[in-house]
Amino acid sequence: MLDLTPSQKGAVAETEIATAAIRMNLLVLRPVAEGGRYDLAIDIGEKILRVQCKWASRNGDVLTINCETSRHTPNGYLRTRYSASEVDAIAAYSPDSDRCYVIPIEEAEHMSTISLRLAPTRNNQALRIRWAREYEFETSLRRRWLQAADDLPITRPAELRAIR
């Protein structure tokens, strides 16, 4: 992919994550104003997930997701991390795998980065590894928030066409 600015990477990640949710027939909501702690809200039926969208960079067999945000203040840069009171999940798009991933905030809360492994380690370590396949968008949403297919919201593409 071309060299993108951080803002462009964020826009691409948000778009890809929203598209992944829409492909699952989920309703995607966007805040009207910028500056909130989440980028998207995804209606999964009985709950609306607050989702912070990130770009995942690949280094070898590992995807790295930066879970910090930084803003300039009169006293210099202020770095903060996300908590469960602000977001329900961190979702990331990796242009290298062309996939989206969802990490429940309980697994990422107060962390500066999250690593997802795409292939086995060279020393065959298997404990304490976050395998990327377990966090792929649909897999992770269904395991964590949508235990049964019946849990999906009732809005379907045919109904959306009828609304137009």
Work out whether strand 68-73 and strand 62-66 pair parallel, antiparallel, or are unpaired.
Answer: unpaired
**Using CB atoms within 10 A of its CB, is residue 79 exposed (0-12), middle (13-18) or buried (19+)?**
exposed
- How many domains does the chain fold into? 1
**Span 10-56, pLDDT tens digits:** 999 999 999 999 999 999 999 998 878 899 999 998 899 999 999 99
Please name the residue that has the structure tokens 């809360």.
Answer: 109
For the record, the structure tokens of 37 come out as 């702690």
What pLDDT is recorded for position 71? Answer: 77
**Residue 16 in domain:** yes
CATH number, domain of 114, equals 3.40.1350.10
Mean pLDDT to the nearest integer, 124-145: 91
Is residue 1 included in any domain, yes or no? Answer: no
Statement: residue 139 has pLDDT above 80 = yes
Instruction: Work out the pLDDT band at 148, boundaries 50, 70, 90.
Output: low
Largest CA distance in the chain: 56
Structural domain harbouring 50:
6-163
pLDDT tens sequence across 56-102: 999 999 999 999 887 788 888 888 899 999 999 999 999 999 999 99
pTM for this predicted structure:
0.84
Residue scoring higher pLDDT (58 or 120)? 58
